[in-house]
Structure 1
Amino acid sequence: MADIVPADVRSRMMSGIRGTNTKPELLLRKGLHALGFRFRLHDRSLPGKPDIVLPRYRAVMFAHGCFWHGHDCHLFKMPSTRPEFWQAKIDRNRAVDARSEAALEEAGWRLAIIWECALKGKTRLPLENVISACANWLRSDRPRLEVRGR
């Protein structure tokens, strides 16, 4: 099936997709900040450049987009055009994620992954529940947290 827009338009559309300061990330930051948590953003010195870094809690948080990280939820659908390209790209993203997570854990960081489907779409959770789960995890000593939609 051919793409419905010309290649130059598709390229411009795709280049406009943000890697930082996404809506899910902003929701998390606003909620955590309102609860009194203070953090750094996108620390380039850490593997994977985590979205939110909380040094006081020795914790990092990633707000993963379900499409870009190939999540098994309703928000991910493999594109029908150039499936080999997209499969390779998503597989690369997953490999980078796995390496970054392993390096962070080895360095003693606790790790939280908040999936986009927990904050958006038909399986989303109430925002208060997601923020509460994150806050409870930060106050605990659990090494990992993963929040996904219902």
Structure 2
Amino acid sequence: MEKNTAGDTEPWVPPSGSWASSAARRRNMQAIRSRDTTPERLVRRLVHAQGLRYRVAARPLPDLRRTADLVFRPVKVAVFIDGCYWHGCPEHYVSPKTNPGYWSDKVARNMARDRDTDEQLQAAGWTVLRFWEHDPAEECAVKIAATVSRLRNPERE
């Protein structure tokens, strides 16, 4: 039992259109961060320490309703640090036991959206870098810095 907005104790009823199967599940899902995750913050700190500046959780293309975790606008580099569960990591994704049909479809849609985002950004001349949350932050930061440096100074190649 939960208290409703009037303070009465009644059985929890999901809001209209909600897919949450319980109040506890709803609270759990609301607590999941879509930005500023630990892997993102680690990579950002390392990239920043190398003297690189970037936008956080920004849209690379103004007309595309998708945000990259780090955006280097002058050199057109978009960095995504994907969560293993939400983006279907081939190494770590495990289909949930509760409502597997819904979640498997959700992850499949996320993966399709990721591919579409990559294609649209590449068509607009952007370089897309994708990392998994389990990738070592140091390796991600090195690859990001190398890519940005190469694009800033193409004559050095």
TM over 0.5: yes
Q: How many residues align?
A: 128
Structure 2 residue 104 is the aligned partner of structure 1 residue 94: no
How far is the alpha carbon of 1:139 from its aligned partner? Answer: 2.1
SS of the aligned residue for 2:134 comes to helix
C-alpha distance in structure 1 between counterparts of 2:63 and 2:50, whole Å = 25
Q: Write the mapping of 1:3-22 to structure 2, written as runs, cut at 5 A.
A: 7-22=22-37
Equivalent in the alignment of 1:56: 74
Equivalent in the alignment of 2:146: 136
Instruction: Tell me the TM-score normalised to structure 1 length.
Output: 0.79
SS of the aligned residue for 2:125 comes to coil
Structure 2 portions without partners, runs of 5+: 1-20, 152-157
Structure 2 residue 53 is the aligned partner of structure 1 residue 38: yes
Equivalent in the alignment of 1:81: 98
Deviates more, 1:86-95 or 1:37-46: 37-46
C-alpha distance in structure 1 between counterparts of 2:109 and 2:140, whole Å = 28
Structure 1 portions without partners, runs of 5+: 1-5, 119-124, 142-150
C-alpha distance in structure 1 between counterparts of 2:63 and 2:32, whole Å = 23
Computed over aligned residues only, the root mean square deviation of the Cα atoms, in angstroms, reads 1.6
How far is the alpha carbon of 1:138 from its aligned partner? Answer: 2.2
Equivalent in the alignment of 1:145: none
How far is the alpha carbon of 1:46 from its aligned partner? Answer: 6.1
Amino acid at match of 1:23: T
Equivalent in the alignment of 2:125: 108
How far is the alpha carbon of 1:77 from its aligned partner? Answer: 1.0
Whether the 8 Å contact between 2:43 and 2:138 is mirrored in structure 1 is no
Instruction: Tell me the TM-score normalised to structure 2 length.
Output: 0.75
Q: Write the mapping of 1:61-76 to structure 2, written as runs, cut at 5 A.
A: 61-74=79-92, 76=93
C-alpha distance in structure 2 between counterparts of 1:129 and 1:90, whole Å = 26
What per-residue deviation string (whole Å, max 9, x for no partner) do you get for residues 63-119 of structure 1? Answer: 100100001113x2110111100111001111111111111000000010011121x
What per-residue deviation string (whole Å, max 9, x for no partner) do you get for residues 24-55 of structure 1? Answer: 11111111010000101222326321111001
SS of the aligned residue for 1:61 comes to strand
